Chains A and B, each alone.
Chain A
Amino acid sequence: MILRIIFAALIAVLPLAANAFEVFACEPEWASLVREIAGEDIQVTTATTAFQDPHYVQAKPSLIAAARNADLLICSGADLEIGWLPLLLRRAGNAAIQPGSPGNFVAADFVRRIEIPKVVDRSGGDVHPQGNPHIHLSPRNIERIAKALGERLIRINAGDADNIQNGLDDFLMRWDEATGRWEDEGESLRGMRLVAHHTSFSYLADWLNLDIVATLEPKPGVPPSGAYLSKLLAQLQASPPAAIIRTPYQNEKPSLWLAERVGTPAIVLPFTVGGTPQATDLFSLYDETIRLLREQQR
């Protein structure tokens, strides 16, 4: 009886979610892409911010509630969310977004992944058998994912098909133009020597021909140790890199320690939408990333 009263009270006080089309985006870059194609009016919940490591997230209550109400789920995939997404999908009890359903959109399925390990063994750190999952820092990947996402949005009736098609065409046109501009601007970055905290920027380096000479992590996902950093220091003092780069969610200490001793700046790249105040959407994310790198050129 007491429980029944509590249940009734709870249901009365909780705001019921609206019936509009809802999107659950695992990372901010996909929330931004959905808005570019389907318009600003579409309701998007972003599971993580630029200040959270998308791998180390828990299937927390707010995410279960959001996944329960979603009509479309869009995530990076390639095991980036392996620690929490499968659990979240089971807890949410939402048939529309289960793996294999049209409402489950995995971005990594549509691009060529790099750094696919030859040997899959955890002694190598956080190994991703399907390759590097940080796929969004290559404009060509975004272009391909956008096309697939546009098709998917139309297929599951996320809104008026003509509007979505127009939104996609318009985005692709602007994206192609911006890509040309970034490639012009990025021409001078070719061969720039960088040290990164983690393999977060591999697709960016691949696209702009940056030379990431080392990572602060001895192995992917393994925190930098003092011994390893000392070794790295000796190696880098001979030929210092242009900068040490990291994402907003990564530990600043190893970067700063090394930067001070090597005499190169340690900088935070936005990594995803919202990572710096200037990076407010996908376009400004790339603008900022390239601007920050060009600032470090010597």
Chain B
Amino acid sequence: MSRYQRIGVLLLLALPASAFAEQDVQAEVTELRQLLAELKSDYEQRITDLEARLQAAERASKSAARKADDALDTAEQTAIDQSSGSSSANAFNPALSAILNGQYARVDHGWNQIPGFMPAGEIGTGESGFALGEAEVNMRASVDSLFYGNLTLALHEEDGAIEPELEESWIQTTSLPGGIRATGGRFFSSAGYLNSFHRHADDFADRPLPYQAFFGGAYTVDGARASWVAPTALLLEVGAEMNWGGGFPATANHATEPGAWTLFAKLGGDAGASNSWLLGIARINADADSRSGGHDHETPGVVDTFSGDSKLTIADFVWKWAPNGNATLRSFKVQGEYFRRDENGLYAGLDYDGTQQGWYLQTVWQFAQRWRVGYRYDAVDTDNGANMVGTELQDPGHSPMRNSLMFDWSPSEFSRLRLQYINDQVYADTDNLWLLQYIVSIGAHGGHQF
């Protein structure tokens, strides 16, 4: 007899309850209650079970639906992958980008040589008016599983003719073990902080005075570099470069050994989430043989030359701050470099033993998304000795220095408009310079170098 039948019988029996004795009724009622309670709990149990099974089924169906969706997605993705890049000839195109820039300048007197220094290439204030800056074309890609290659061409117009210049052309290893990298070709030296940056990435429209005086803008190596990143928690990188090329301050006519050597070390890390820093030290030893400075358009023909040893030491630092390391909205940067060079040998046929120094300190404050202001102080100083009186290297009797203010707006990562004022005391007469500059980058995304 099932429980329900028993309940039925009990209910029937319960009807003529009055016919039974008192305690019999009591027993029946107790049993009845008990059975009802059992019934209730039984149903509750079944309902809970059913609900659980329903939920499980729902979940299983959702999971199945997800899996079906996944399968569909995979098929779709495969179709997408297979349909794209049907032409293999240009699938291997290198990352290609171009930098376009130009500026309007207002210059009072202007200069193209720093007193006390040999002319060192295309430096100086330029002239008043609009000038198209050099257009830079860059190509880069992996060569194969061992090398990475980079080519940068700079095009500028000189006296109505387009002059192409091979700014960089280097290959670099990508798979040497133990943090070692080798670079060969023409490349920017790792000495100094600013030197390895392309000029369009600078925070000011022109390079600081020491870079102009000691390098003619930047120190380029034609040769090789080996560098090593130590397996440490802080960044420690050391390296050496040998320069066979004619890059100032060395000279090109060294057939058997490099004209200049560089040793450098960099140390950097973070201080909390908001601060990052980098220190650098470098030494460039150059052997100059009839060095005439960079290319000098002003005085063709016979120029005074230097032969001897040139020893340059550079110490640099940079510190960057951004709230929580998020530089999108606000950031602050301080950087500075100190140059000291000892040269001795013969200049213009005279015994020459001179010391030159240069330094700059600059800060850039990004006060809102895409808006920045900056201030820079830069100066150089010479102690070339009494022997140089009457030559180009005669000490000017003052330290050439400048104060610069910069204000720029970057509508996007790829464009920048900049206004810069320079209070220029390179010569005894103070010059006031105003520069309005645009720099844009098209093509492949450039790197955010620290």
Q: Which residues of A contact B (CB under 8 A)?
A: 3, 6-7, 10-11, 14-17, 48-49, 51-53, 56-62, 64-65, 68-69, 79, 82-84, 86-87, 90-95, 98-100, 111-112, 116, 122, 125-126, 140, 144, 176, 179-180, 183, 221-223, 249, 251
CB distance from A100 to the nearest CB of B (A): 7
* Those 9 A-B pairs whose CB atoms lie nearest each other, nearest first: A61-B268, A87-B447, A61-B235, A95-B175, A51-B324, A112-B73, A65-B235, A93-B181, A14-B232
Residue among B66, B265, B448 making CB contact with A58, cutoff 8 Å: B448
Q: How far is the CA of A269 from the CA of B355 in the complex (A)?
A: 60
Known: A94-B179, A122-B412. A64 touches B229 (CB 8 A): yes
Q: Tell me the complex Cα distance, A14–B172, Å.
A: 27
Provide the residues of chain B in CB contact with A144, threshold 8 Å.
Answer: 70
The verdict on B69 contacting chain A, using a C-beta distance below 8 Å, is: yes
Provide the bound-state CA to CA distance between A83 and B76, in Å: 29
Q: Is B232 within 8 A of A49, CB to CB?
A: no
20 more contacts with CB within 8 A, not counting A59-B450, A92-B229, are A3-B281, A6-B265, A7-B265, A10-B265, A14-B234, A48-B325, A58-B320, A61-B234, A61-B235, A61-B450, A65-B229, A65-B236, A65-B269, A83-B446, A83-B447, A90-B172, A90-B174, A95-B175, A111-B77, A179-B63
Question: A179-B66, A180-B62 given as contacts; is B370 within 8 A of A223 (CB)?
Answer: yes
- The binding surface of chain A is classed by DSSP as loop
Q: How far is the CA of A59 from the CA of B268 in the complex (A)?
A: 12
Flag if B62 contacts A53 (CB, 8 Å). no
Kindly state the separation between the CA atoms of A6 and B63 in the bound complex, as whole angstroms: 62
Q: How far is the CA of A10 from the CA of B281 in the complex (A)?
A: 12
Interface bits B265-307 vs A (CB < 8 Å: 1, else 0): 1111110010011100101000000000000000000000000
When the two chains form their complex, are residues B445 and A60 in contact, meaning their CB atoms are under 8 A apart?
A: no
Whether A56 pairs with B448 at a CB distance below 8 angstroms is yes
Known A-B contacts A87-B448, A100-B145; A7 and B238 likewise in contact (beta carbons under 8 Å): yes
Among listed B86-94, B326-334, B419-427, interface-contacting one: B326-334
Q: How far is the CA of A91 from the CA of B142 in the complex (A)?
A: 14
A17 to B232, CA, bound (A): 5
> Which residues on the B side are within 8 Å of A179 (C-beta)?
63, 66
Which bracket fits the contact residues of B? 35 or more
The residues of B that contact A17 with a CB separation of less than 8 Å are 231-233
Given A90-B148, A112-B77, A183-B62, do A11 and B447 touch, yes or no (CB 8 Å)?
no
Q: Closest Cβ of chain B: how far from A213's Cβ, in Å? A: 24
A144 to B70, CA, bound (A): 9
Distance in angstroms from A102 CB to nearest chain B CB is: 13
Inter-chain CA distance A49–B180, complex, in Å, is: 29
Structural contact, A59 and B328, CB atoms closer than 8 A: no
Contact B231 A68, beta carbon cutoff 8 Å: yes
> Chain A's nearest CB lies how many Å from the CB of B390?
35
For B408-441 the 0/1 string (1 means CB < 8 A from A) is 0000111000000000000000000000000000
Which residues of chain B have C-beta atoms less than 8 A from A111's C-beta? 73, 77
B34 at the interface (CB under 8 A from A): no
Cross-chain contact B232 with A15 (CB below 8 angstroms): yes
Decide if B450 touches A60 in the complex (CB within 8 Å): yes
| Partner of B450 from A3, A6, A58, A140 at Cβ < 8 Å | A58
Which residues, 146 to 193 on B, are CB-close (under 8 Å) to A? 148, 172-177, 179-181
